[in-house]
Chain A
């Protein structure tokens, strides 16, 4: 094997990094939409809906993401459903992220004080109006820091999509390494690139949390 790390290799890694961001966005948006439904299901007045939501969350949280990815790619292919690595990775991550975001958001909705529900109920607002106009705006504020924090997990977890042949940052690193065989240098670059994507988000999440903390102490009743 030969050659040195050159601009073409770096361009290839850059492309992988873009796919990591793309896959993260797919996971965040898809997982966010499904997760929102899960959060609502978990607090539904209907017991059967609550139960279905709880089972979904427990199933996904009790299964390694790697296994979900294998099932989505190799498993579906084995029963005749051939999907592309992008679809398999996007769908698996969506299911995975939905379970966690659903739980985070359920907690945020439930942490809006119960008297807020009662006050809205006392004003004759319907359940949907109570949710949309009173509870969710408050829950969103509470949910922002942990959601941004969880995005860091999503970005890092997209690296698992490399096992189904999806060429994101990790997989592109493996490919470059296969031709150059300079694992230390290449994986150091990969690590630094992940760090560069995740660290700003971590910082942002921490800052949001601090700001929230101040806001909450101001809101404490006299």
Chain B
């Protein structure tokens, strides 16, 4: 499905990343890298550190130690240019976080106009384009509250795409949705992967991860416990992943 032959620098790389909340060590020497066009799925139990690792990539959390490089930005350094970083990185959250006072179109055009100085007419064309991409072109003038959860999440993905990021982060984007709505969101993400978008996703959807991810990172107690191609989900080598995949299968 993807081309992993890209030999250039990784888009995202974490090296020996440390992060504590008070006395709790959430990330304990986490390292992984994501190449251009690659889809990486972060999986693990609640509290294993996977969401924190994802949030560190976009500097929503500051790390205590280690090195994070994202599209050439040294994210671990205090002097990182956050606005430049966030133009290169798109993030989609579990709770959609659309702006409730703006229409879907305004939600999408806000950042391209305000951050990139794009002309309004051009931004509106862009909004229509990204909404077509997520299958929501008819909702251009609707307000978020008029949309279902799945539609809101697709609109949030479209909003993120409009900034033309080099890498997309997905933080449990289907966890707030019922199974029926989960499907429509996953389909959009699959299409993005097929188009070659570089993605890092935290997910509980094991079947989805198996189908879409080029690589799986299984986190356990703040460490990368097992990593490999999607096939490790069917033939795990560590007892922890075996147990995790077992419970995951029971759940779905």
Please report B residues at the A interface, Cβ cutoff 8 Å: 58, 60, 82-84, 86-87, 89-91, 93, 95-101, 110-111, 114-115, 145, 148-149, 152, 156, 159-160, 163, 176-177
Contact = CB atoms under 8 A, between A and B. Distances in A.
Given A133-B114, A222-B148, A122 B95 contact: no
B108 to A, nearest CB: 10
A133 B110 contact: yes
Given A118-B60, A141-B101, A125 B95 contact: no
A63 interface: no
B96 to A, nearest CB: 7
A121 interface: yes
Nearest to B106: A133
A137 interface: yes
Contacts of A221: 95-96, 149, 152, 176
B149 A125 contact: no
A83 B218 CA distance: 73
A137 to B, nearest CB: 5
Nearest to B101: A137
A218 interface: yes
A216 to B, nearest CB: 10
Contact of A123 (B60, B100, B110, B176): B110
Given A122-B91, A218-B145, A115 B115 contact: no
Interface of A: 115-116, 118-126, 129, 133-134, 137-138, 141, 218-219, 221-222
A118 B97 contact: yes
B93 A119 contact: yes
A69 B84 CA distance: 51
Contact of B95 (A115, A123, A141): A115
B99 A125 contact: no
7 contacts: A115-B93, A116-B97, A116-B99, A118-B60, A122-B60, A123-B86, A129-B114
Contacts of A115: 93, 95, 97
Contacts of A124: 82-84, 86-87, 111, 115, 163
A126 B83 contact: yes
B148 A125 contact: no
Nearest to A215: B145
8 tightest A-B contacts by CB? Answer: A119-B97, A123-B111, A124-B86, A222-B149, A122-B91, A115-B97, A137-B101, A124-B87
Contacts of A218: 145
B86 A138 contact: no
A27 to B, nearest CB: 29
Contact of A118 (B90, B93, B115, B156): B93
Contacts of B101: 137-138, 141
Given A129-B114, A221-B176, A121 B99 contact: no
Contacts of B93: 115, 118-119, 122
A115 B171 CA distance: 13
Contacts of A129: 114-115
A133 to B, nearest CB: 6
Contacts of B176: 221-222
Contacts of B163: 123-124
Nearest to B97: A119
B149 A121 contact: no
B115 A123 contact: yes
A70 B149 CA distance: 58
A123 B149 contact: no
B98 to A, nearest CB: 8
Given A134-B110, A221-B149, 10 more contacts: A116-B99, A118-B97, A119-B99, A123-B115, A124-B82, A124-B86, A125-B111, A129-B115, A133-B114, A222-B177
A173 B100 CA distance: 49
A126 B156 CA distance: 19
Given A122-B91, A133-B110, A138 B58 contact: no
B86 A121 contact: yes
A221 B91 CA distance: 19
A91 to B, nearest CB: 35
